[in-house]
C-alpha cells in the first residue's frame, strides 16, 4: 500500500507539473517517498495541495494496471524521462514491468494494491533535497516524504509520535541548549562544540577512562595525520579511499587525515617485540578521525565528517579471544545500565563469498573460522544476537549494537569487530609460550561510539533533560533581587569548589521568569537565594520538574548533590 501511495503522489505531481521528471519512489518504514525533478522548488505550502490531488486520485479508485513490455518499447514510453532511461539501461532482462494508474505510467517491479482506492490513511510530511542515486556529482532532486497506514487511528498515533520526535530532535535541542553548532565557514559535517557541549564531552571521557582503567586498558595518543604508506600497509586505503579526505603532498610525501585510529595503534604494538605475557594488550584512545561522508548522508551530529571516537584495540591470543570479545559486550551492558538504555539488538555482521577480494579480505577459511569463534563466544555466554550477511568489516566479522532512540530512529551505537587480516598486513607478532613467533588476533571496539553520535543519541534519549552528572549546567542559582547577587555568587563559588557546574542568573528579571528560563534550559536544580537564605547560609531548592525540596543548609545540599553526581544516578 505504501509503495502504491508513492505512485499516487507521483500522479498528483504529474497533474500539477506536466513536465515533471521522475526519479524513484520506494516504500520505506512507515511510509514512502518519491524523488522529482521539477521546474520550481517546492515549499511546505505545496504539500496540502499535493495531498488534495492525491485524495482525488484515491477517490477515483483507478486500477493499478501492470504490463510487461520490451525494453525498446519502454524507451519510447519513457523517452522524456532521463532518470527512467538510465535505470532501463541497467536492467539486464529483455522485458520490464510498467504500472499505470490513470494518466501516470511508471517503470516498476511492483507489487501494488488493486486500485488507488485501496490506499488508506496517508499524510505528506516533509520535503528534502536528494542527489540522484545518492551521488553528490549528480543532479539534486526534490524528495517528498509521506506516511501511510491502514486506518486513520494508526495514522493519528504515528503523527503524534512524529510531533514528539520533533521536540526531541537532537539538531533542534543541540542548538536550543547551546551544545553544538555548525558553521558554513568551517564546513558541513564539522561540528563546533560549545562550552556546554564541552562539559558533556569531559563527563563522557571521564566515565570511559574510569571504566577502561577498571577493565585493564592503557591509554595512548596518536596524530591526526599520517603518511599514505601506513594506510596502504594496513589494507585500509583500497577499501576506504572514497571516504577519506584527499591526500596532501609535502616534500614528495603524501599524507592523509586519519579516518580511523587502528593503523597507528598497530604501530604502537609493533614498536617492540611482545611476549605472550604482555597479552592481552588493550590500547585505548579518544582519537579524532575524519571521513568525507557524502553531503546527502550528513545528519546533525549523528553522521559527521569529524568525530572523536571511543576507540580501543585489543591484541590477544586465540585462546584469550572469547573472554576478551565477551568482556567488551559486558562493558557495553555496564554503560547501557548507566544511561538507562533498555532496547538494543546485538547484530552479527558476516561476510559474503561474492565480496572476497573486493569488499572483503580474500581468505575464506579465516572468515569462516572467525565467524564461528564469534558465534561460539556469544552462545557460550547466553548473549542473544541475530545474523546479517554481507555487512562485515573488510577485515573480519563484527557485532554491532543497534539502538532504537526515543524518536524511533535506529542506528549503530557500539561496535565490536574481529580482525584477522591486519596482524598479517602490518606484520604484528608476539613470542608464544614455545618461544615461537605468532600473530595476535585483534579486536576493534567502540562501546560509546563517538562523542558526536553518543551525544546526539542522548539528547533524544533524555529529551535534553540529562541526569545531574551529565547535565552541562547542574545548578542554576537565582537571586530574588539585586541585593542577593553577592551572596548568590558566593554560593556559586562554594558549588564550583566541589566541581559542581553552577551558574548565577543575575539578570534584572522577575524570579519566576528566571525559574522558567532554567526549566527551558533543563537545568536539574534551581537554588533560590533570598533574605532568609542569605542570613543563615541555606538554600531553597527546586527541581526542574517543579518539585520544591525542603529548605536545607548549603553544605547539606552540596553533600547530597556530590553523592548523586559521583554515583551517576
Neighbours of 406 (CB within 10 A): 16
- pLDDT for res 276: 97
- pLDDT for res 239: 77
Contact 395, 361 (CB under 8 A): yes
Of residues 102, 23, 11, the one with CA closest to residue 54: 11
Contact 145, 309 (CB under 8 A): no
Cα(28)–Cα(31) distance, integer angstroms: 5
Q: What are phi and psi of 488, to 5 degrees?
A: -60, -40
Q: What does DSSP say about strands 95-101 and 65-70: parallel, antiparallel, or unpaired? A: antiparallel
- Which strand (E) or helix (H) includes residue 130? strand 121-131
Mean pLDDT by 10 residues, the chain (569 residues): 97 96 94 96 96 97 96 95 95 93 94 96 95 91 97 94 88 96 96 98 97 97 96 86 92 95 96 97 96 90 95 96 96 94 92 89 92 95 94 92 81 91 93 97 95 95 96 97 95 97 95 95 97 94 93 96 96
Cα(239)–Cα(254) distance, integer angstroms: 18
Cα(208)–Cα(290) distance, integer angstroms: 21
User: What is the value of pTM for the model shown?
Assistant: 0.82
- pLDDT for res 407: 74
- pLDDT for res 351: 94
Q: Which residues touch 232 (CB under 8 Å, ≥6 apart)?
A: none
- pLDDT for res 164: 85
Q: Do domains 2-155 and 180-461 have the same CATH topology?
A: no
Q: Which residues touch 357 (CB under 8 Å, ≥6 apart)?
A: none
Architecture of domain 2-155: 2-Layer Sandwich (3.30)
Q: Could you give the residue ranges of the DSSP H alpha helices within 381-447?
A: 422-425
CATH number of 180-461: 3.30.930.10
Residue 98 DSSP symbol: E
522: which 3 cell numbers?
533543563
Of residues 501, 529, 486, 409, the one with CA closest to residue 200: 501
Q: Which residues of 337-393 form beta strands (DSSP E)?
A: 344-349, 386-388
Of residues 437, 396, 435, the one with CA closest to residue 415: 396
- pLDDT for res 361: 86
Domains of the chain, by residue range, sit at: 2-155, 180-461, 475-566
- pLDDT for res 405: 76
- pLDDT for res 519: 95
Contact 346, 414 (CB under 8 A): no
Q: Helix or strand or coil: residue 552?
A: strand
- pLDDT for res 240: 82
Of residues 89, 87, 90, 110, the one with CA closest to residue 98: 110
Q: What does DSSP say about strands 475-479 and 525-529: parallel, antiparallel, or unpaired? A: parallel
- pLDDT tens digits, 529-555: 999 999 999 999 999 999 999 899 999
- pLDDT tens digits, 505-514: 999 999 999 9
Strands laid side by side in the 225-227 sheet = 225-227, 253-257, 248-250
Task: Give the CATH class of 475-566.
Answer: alpha beta
CA angle 423, 426, 428 (to 5 degrees): 50
Contact 372, 333 (CB under 8 A): no
Amino acid at each position: 500500500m505504501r509503495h502504491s501511495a508513492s505512485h499516487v503522489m507521483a500522479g498528483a505531481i504529474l497533474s500539477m507539473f506536466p513536465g515533471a521528471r521522475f526519479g524513484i519512489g520506494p516504500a520505506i518504514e512507515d511510509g514512502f517517498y518519491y524523488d522529482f525533478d521539477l521546474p520550481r522548488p517546492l515549499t511546505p505550502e505545496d504539500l496540502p495541495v499535493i495531498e488534495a490531488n492525491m485524495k482525488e486520485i484515491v477517490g477515483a479508485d483507478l486500477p493499478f494496471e501492470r504490463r510487461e513490455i520490451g525494453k525498446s518499447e519502454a524507451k519510447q514510453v519513457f523517452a522524456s524521462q532521463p532518470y527512467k532511461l538510465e535505470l532501463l539501461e541497467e536492467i539486464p532482462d529483455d522485458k520490464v514491468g510498467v504500472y499505470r494508474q490513470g494518466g501516470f505510467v511508471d517503470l516498476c517491479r511492483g507489487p501494488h494494491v488493486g486500485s488507488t482506492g485501496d490506499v488508506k490513511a496517508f499524510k505528506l510530511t516533509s520535503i528534502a533535497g536528494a542527489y540522484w542515486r545518492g551521488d553528490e556529482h549528480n543532479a539534486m532532486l526534490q524528495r517528498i516524504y509521506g506516511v501511510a497506514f491502514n486506518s486513520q487511528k494508526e495514522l493519528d498515533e504515528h503523527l503524534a509520535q512524529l510531533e514528539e520526535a520533533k521536540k526531541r530532535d537532537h539538531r533542534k535541542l543541540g542548538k536550543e541548549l547551546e551544545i553544538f553548532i555548525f558553521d558554513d565557514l568551517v564546513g558541513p559535517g564539522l561540528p563546533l562544540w560549545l562550552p556546554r557541549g564541552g562539559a558533556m564531552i569531559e563527563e563522557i571521557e571521564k566515565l570511559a577512562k574510569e571504566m577502561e582503567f577498571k577493565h585493564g586498558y592503557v591509554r595512548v595518543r596518536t596524530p591526526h595525520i599520517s603518511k599514505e604508506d601506513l594506510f596502504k600497509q594496513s589494507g585500509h586505503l583500497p577499501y576506504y579511499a572514497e571516504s577519506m579526505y584527499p591526500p596532501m603532498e609535502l616534500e614528495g610525501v603524501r599524507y592523509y587525515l586519519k579516518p580511523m585510529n587502528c593503523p597507528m595503534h598497530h604501530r604502537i604494538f609493533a614498536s617492540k617485540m611482545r611476549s605472550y605475557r604482555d597479552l592481552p594488550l588493550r590500547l585505548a584512545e579518544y582519537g579524532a578521525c575524519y571521513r568525507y561522508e557524502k553531503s546527502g548522508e550528513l545528519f546533525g551530529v549523528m553522521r559527521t565528517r569529524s568525530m572523536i571516537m571511543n576507540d580501543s584495540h585489543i591484541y590477544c591470543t586465540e585462546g584469550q579471544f572469547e573472554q576478551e570479545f565477551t568482556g567488551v559486550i559486558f562493558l557495553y551492558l555496564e554503560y547501557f545500565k548507566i544511561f538507562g538504555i533498555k532496547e538494543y539488538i546485538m547484530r552479527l555482521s558476516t561476510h559474503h563469498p561474492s565480496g572476497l577480494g573486493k569488499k572483503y579480505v580474500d581468505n575464506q577459511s579465516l572468515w569462516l573460522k572467525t565467524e564461528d569463534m564469534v558465534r561460539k563466544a556469544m552462545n557460550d555466554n547466553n548473549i542473544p544476537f541475530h545474523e546479517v550477511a554481507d555487512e562485515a568489516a573488510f577485515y573480519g566479522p563484527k557485532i554491532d549494537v543497534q539502538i532504537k532512540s526515543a524518536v524511533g530512529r535506529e542506528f549503530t551505537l557500539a561496535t565490536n569487530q574481529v580482525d584477522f587480516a591486519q596482524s598479517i598486513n602490518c606484520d604484528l607478532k608476539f613470542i608464544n609460550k614455545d618461544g615461537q613467533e605468532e600473530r595476535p588476533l585483534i579486536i576493534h571496539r567502540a562501546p560509546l561510539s563517538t562523542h558526536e553520535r553518543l551525544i546526539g543519541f542522548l539528547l533524544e534519549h533524555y529529551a535534553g533533560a540529562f541526569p545531574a552528572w551529565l547535565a552541562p549546567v547542574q545548578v542554576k542559582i537565582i537571586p530574588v533581587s539585586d541585593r542577593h547577587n553577592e551572596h548568590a555568587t558566593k554560593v556559586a563559588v562554594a558549588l564550583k569548589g566541589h566541581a559542581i557546574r553552577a551558574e548565577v542568573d543575575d539578570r534584572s528579571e522577575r524570579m519566576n521568569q528566571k525559574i522558567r528560563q532554567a526549566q527551558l534550559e533543563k537545568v536539574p536544580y534551581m537554588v533560590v537565594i533570598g533574605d532568609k537564605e542569605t542570613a543563615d547560609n541555606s538554600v531553597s531548592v527546586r527541581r526542574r520538574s517543579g518539585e520544591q525540596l525542603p529548605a536545607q543548609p548549603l553544605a547539606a545540599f552540596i553533600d547530597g548533590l556530590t553523592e548523586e553526581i559521583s554515583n551517576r544516578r
